Chains A and B, each alone.
Chain A
């Protein structure tokens, strides 16, 4: 079982729709959760971090965390063609020197 799992996609949504990206993780002691966006040929760019169960909203983005189900998701409202990218879920366990583990990413295509 992979530590962090994402559907590779592509996930295609029409412009203006809500895109829903999902991620599951295997280690229950995971403490910090991140969503990064990566355009082709570029480095990952942080979108949001979330640490507590529930929802966290930032503009058009909402991260949702459910530690009991070991599940984290990212919703993108009013999707734009510029949102077309690969979205990486990343997880960090508790502890001082813990590494961040990434999923393989979900490719999102927003169709104009």
Chain B
């Protein structure tokens, strides 16, 4: 059973550049959420994709955008990179169920992409 995969593992960019991060969800999952985790902080929710649409968005600027493909994989794009965008970017997958509590709303994380902006 394939878990959540992310690519690349590490990335170094300079200010002003653009970056694309990729995520493949766990087998059987249809929902992908993206998080940013700065050093010493908990993961901060960026947005969630289900059925190829952005369903929920956290407090992040429009420079952060995403996409979900028909095979449920997802991309996170960040434009006009700032030094403060340096962080671990985490993708989490889950299976959508109408908000009812239960094991199916559990999120499983990928290994993350470490982005460094110089």
- Give the residues in chain A near B109, CB-CB below 8 Å: 36, 43-46
Separation of A94 and B98 alpha carbons in the complex (Å): 9
Provided the pairs A32-B101, A42-B111, A43-B111 are in contact, do residues A96 and B96 lie with their beta carbons within 8 angstroms? yes
Give the A-B contact count at a CB cut-off of 8 A.
Answer: 65
Q: Of B14-22, B48-56, B67-75, B78-86, which binds chain A? A: B48-56
B61 interfacial contact with A, CB 8 Å: no
A-B residue pairs, 7 tightest by C-beta: A102-B42, A97-B55, A51-B101, A95-B99, A96-B99, A43-B109, A99-B45
B90 touches A98 (CB 8 A): no
A88 touches B45 (CB 8 A): no
* Size of the chain B interface, CB-CB below 8 angstroms: 30
- Give the residues in chain A near B102, CB-CB below 8 Å: 51
A25 interfacial contact with B, CB 8 Å: no
B112 touches A43 (CB 8 A): yes
Ordered by A's residue number, 7 sampled pairs between the chains whose C-beta atoms are within 8 Å are A4-B42, A31-B99, A31-B101, A43-B111, A95-B99, A97-B55, A101-B45
Separation of A96 and B99 alpha carbons in the complex (Å): 4
B24 interfacial contact with A, CB 8 Å: no
- Give the residues in chain B near A17, CB-CB below 8 Å: none
Seed contacts A43-B109, A96-B98; 6 additional CB < 8 Å A-B pairs: A31-B99, A43-B88, A44-B109, A46-B106, A100-B92, A101-B45
